[in-house]
Chain A
Amino acid sequence: MTEENAAPPEETDQETVEEVDLGPMAYGVPVTESFGQTVLHPTPDQLIETATALQQDGFCMVIDVTVVDYLTHPGRTDLPSAVTPQRFEVVVALINHQQSTRIRLRVQAGNEQPTVPSLFDLFPGTEAMEREAWDLFGVTFTDHPDHSRILLPDDWEGHPLRKDHGMGDIPVQFSTTVGNR
């Protein structure tokens, strides 16, 4: 951690400015294409700004909010060079009804304690989806009105869709159960 931080950041910045091609941009963020669908790559800080711009452009509905945990993935090849891959990726799907187009946002949310701003104020329909993402992946959505578990019980420990969450941990004890007779 300290060693990585100690590396001079000026050098990498200069490289970015001079050599690394940021690739195509849309709405101020890197854009790629995946199977005919546009994918934007905002940072968590840019998410609200991008979503607002998209909403003003006619993307009237957030269809889906989900998370992918890339812990054991061999390595993503479909990210633009300007984006640093991180363990958790929040995926937001938006739809434009008037032009019948879709845009997907892939937000690199962090490695240890993933946090992204909630889209609730822009799209209230994300309420349940963000709760589900928190419940199953432990991604924090700041300013969410009811940031609680939705599918699992309130006293559940851990976030089961994370790749490092153990499976089959709960012992089943049918054989030791004493019957009534």
Chain B
Amino acid sequence: MTSDDLTLALGDPERVHRREQSAVLRVNESDAEALTGDPENPEDDHRMILNMGPQHPSTHGVLRLMLEMEGETVLRSKPVIGYLHTGMEKTAEGLTYLQGPTNVTRMDYAAPLFSELAFSLTVEKLLGIEVPPRATWIRMLMCELNRISSHLLFQATNGMDLGAVSMMIYGWREREEVLRFFEKVTGLRMNHNYIRPGGVAADLHDGWRQDVRELLDMLPARLEEYDTLLTNQPIFQERLQGVGVLNPAEALALSATGPILRSTGYSWDLRRHAPYMFYDQVDFDVVVGTWGDCFDRYAIRQNEIRESLRIIEQILDLMPEGDYRVQNKKVTPPPRARIDESMEALIHHFKIFTEGFHVPQGEAYVAVESPRGELGCYIVSDGSPKPYRMHIRGPSFVNLQTLPHLMEGGLIADGVAVISSVDPIMGEVDR
């Protein structure tokens, strides 16, 4: 990051000071009612409170919004969340470290591998183990593919929200191709439980290069189609350009990360600026926007797919031979064949799957760049085989705070575009 970026972010104090509390604050329902004025008064008559969701086709799950409207203009809004809350952080305290990924993978169900990755990296940090290079490269390959499938899902739903209904079908079609590869590798289309502490669950199958190659050959042409269908289409541009504008200072103040922060022209990507795994060994660009509007957020995701394809291309060449998980008998279960031969292996197998492995006391926070922003995992260990406390910092949850800011002063129809461009996954918001 250059110093210009920071000047861009912090150099305009007027815009910072325009951040008044009411825009950030989510108004209480009762307060909002009081503030909208007297229905008998004709001057207050045109202002109303509108409830949107939780069952609404364009709220991406069960997001509910309280909107204060004047005519068709949105004044203030408040996201109401929690409809999918299932206490997953509490659940995590009852699962061993090996079972943990099955839990976190259900948070961001459009990009499940990233939750598993953040969890596993944190556990490995606490354990002080280092996974073999091949395991890390497999993780990178799978995560970049997952970034593609997640962004494809965004392209599909974003198109549909704006009336480009055919985009829905195309986006899902391409995403399905990626999920098919996931199914071959992990056994499941979603909720893989593939990345685990100590490595990955299984090695890549024979012929994986061919499968990845096919994806790499197919997707660029399909992205060109999207450009024809959406990017260069005047109606689509009219719907998105200048809608839901955020500036860098506001994005930073609201703790927004990922494409929302980058759309403001602020270059911040953990893969580049705080590299983890082997992202410092691959060549890719951080895509940033200029205007911070919905179109920039759309275009960033579109181009991040291309950057991910570039990374995968390099991974194909860089993938080493070797083990796909660390050979530490205390952490990874022994191969099935060893159990018949070795008493030790049987004991380790039994210990790992009944009691689990002990993780030394301590606390650690590890963050990865998920398709939605910084996905962090904070684990406190008390030395037992289960996390004492596991917290996931969900990017969707935090990014949702930008909604009132983005929607303020816009039309209700633009509100749909704004919700879509924030791309919240409610499973991660509510956890």
Q: Which of B3, B255, B364 makes the CB contact (< 8 A) with A123?
A: B255
Q: Which 4 A-B pairs have the closest CB atoms?
A: A125-B255, A151-B82, A64-B393, A151-B85
CB distance from B72 to the nearest CB of A (A): 26
Q: Which of B254, B376, B401 makes the CB contact (< 8 A) with A63?
A: B376
Chain B interface mostly: mixed
A145 touches B21 (CB 8 A): yes
Number of A-B contacts (CB under 8 A): 118
**Can you list, as one digit per residue, whether each of B266-284 has a CB less than 8 Å from chain A (1) or not (0)?**
0010000110000000000
B90 touches A161 (CB 8 A): yes
Chain A interfacial residues counted at CB < 8 A: 43
B393 touches A63 (CB 8 A): yes
A160 within 8 A of B: yes
Whole-angstrom distance between the alpha carbons of A61 and B26 in the complex?
A: 20
A93 cross-chain contacts in B, Cβ below 8 A: 365, 376, 378, 393
B253 within 8 A of A: yes
A161 cross-chain contacts in B, Cβ below 8 A: 87, 89-90
Whole-angstrom distance between the alpha carbons of A61 and B365 in the complex?
A: 16
A126 within 8 A of B: yes
Stretch at the interface among B143-151, B302-310, B322-330, B382-390: B382-390
23 A-B residue contacts at CB 8 Å?
A34-B362, A63-B367, A63-B393, A64-B376, A66-B393, A76-B361, A78-B363, A91-B363, A93-B365, A93-B376, A97-B1, A97-B6, A102-B365, A123-B253, A128-B401, A129-B398, A146-B27, A150-B82, A151-B85, A151-B430, A161-B87, A161-B90, A167-B90
B5 cross-chain contacts in A, Cβ below 8 A: 97
B6 touches A98 (CB 8 A): yes
CB distance from A56 to the nearest CB of B (A): 11
**Can you list, as one digit per residue, whether each of B109-137 has a CB less than 8 Å from chain A (1) or not (0)?**
00000000000000001100000000000
Kindly name the residue among B3, B393, B398 whose own CB sees the greatest number of chain A CB atoms within 10 A. B398
Whole-angstrom distance between the alpha carbons of A102 and B383 in the complex?
A: 25
Kindly name the residue among A34, A64, A126, A148 whose own CB sees the greatest number of chain B CB atoms within 10 A. A64
CB distance from A164 to the nearest CB of B (A): 13
Q: Which of B388, B393, B401 makes the CB contact (< 8 A) with A127?
A: B401
A64 cross-chain contacts in B, Cβ below 8 A: 365, 376, 378, 391, 393
Q: Which of A91, A124, A136 makes the CB contact (< 8 A) with B254?
A: A124
Q: Which of B365, B401, B430 makes the CB contact (< 8 A) with A37?
A: B365
A177 within 8 A of B: no
Whole-angstrom distance between the alpha carbons of A73 and B388 in the complex?
A: 8
**Can you list, as one digit per residue, whether each of A143-163 has a CB less than 8 Å from chain B (1) or not (0)?**
001101111110000001100
B273 touches A97 (CB 8 A): yes
Whole-angstrom distance between the alpha carbons of A149 and B400 in the complex?
A: 16
**Which residues of chain A from 38 to 83 have a CB within 8 Å of any chain B CB?**
60-64, 66, 68-69, 73-74, 76-78
**Can you list, as one digit per residue, whether each of B189-232 has a CB less than 8 Å from chain A (1) or not (0)?**
00000000000000000000000000000000000000000000
Whole-angstrom distance between the alpha carbons of A10 and B122 in the complex?
A: 43
**Can you list, as one digit per residue, whether each of A123-141 has a CB less than 8 Å from chain B (1) or not (0)?**
1111111001000100000
A66 touches B378 (CB 8 A): yes
Contacts known (A98-B6, A100-B274); A128 close to B388, Cβ less than 8 A? no
Kindly name the residue among B1, B27, B256, B388 whose own CB sees the greatest number of chain A CB atoms within 10 A. B388
Nearest residue (CB) in B for A149 is: B82
A69 cross-chain contacts in B, Cβ below 8 A: 389
Q: Which of B10, B85, B257, B361 makes the CB contact (< 8 A) with A78?
A: B361
**Can you list, as one digit per residue, whether each of B397-418 has a CB less than 8 Å from chain A (1) or not (0)?**
1101100000000000000000
B24 within 8 A of A: yes
CB distance from B82 to the nearest CB of A (A): 4
Whole-angstrom distance between the alpha carbons of A160 and B28 in the complex?
A: 23
17 more CB-based (< 8 A) A-B contacts, given A66-B378, A74-B361, A146-B27: A34-B362, A60-B6, A61-B255, A63-B374, A73-B382, A77-B361, A93-B378, A97-B1, A98-B1, A100-B273, A124-B253, A125-B255, A127-B26, A145-B21, A145-B24, A152-B85, A161-B87
Kindly name the residue among A35, A136, A160 whose own CB sees the greatest number of chain B CB atoms within 10 A. A35
B98 within 8 A of A: no
